[in-house]
Amino acid sequence: MGMSKLLDITAAFNASAKYVMDISEWDNVVVQLETPSAPINFNATNDSNAITGITDGSAVSAIQFQPIQATNLATGTSVTSASANGMFRFGVVGKFLELVATGGTTATKILVLFYKIS
């Protein structure tokens, strides 16, 4: 039996043109973008910016993001960003997944489905 969780990150992304999430406990993540006003880049990192004995780090403190590929579920192609409606699947790509764009970039809706196959 699998588990899943769906988040609507639209408001948080639109506030700063950036959203970082911890994806370490999930097998796959599917991001659904609706009407982005500019390209949204896909990045990942394993670096939580932990400080030994002080903090384990988190999605908020994560650094050293690198571009990653997602699979466009409509075409089957690999992409590192998206500028139109679509659904994009990420496998195990790192501990943290970042969606980021230039300042002022918004989207009508951004839904993130996390799922684990047990």
| One pLDDT digit (tens) per residue for the chain, 118 residues | 689 999 999 999 999 999 999 999 999 999 999 999 999 999 999 998 887 777 777 888 898 999 999 999 999 999 999 999 999 999 988 999 999 999 899 999 999 999 998 7
CATH number of 3-50+63-116: 2.60.120
Domain boundaries, the chain: 3-50+63-116
pLDDT of residue 92: 84
pLDDT of residue 101: 96
Q: What is the dihedral of CA 77, 81, 86, 88, to 10 degrees?
A: 60
pLDDT of residue 118: 75
Tokens standing for residue 40: 């949204």
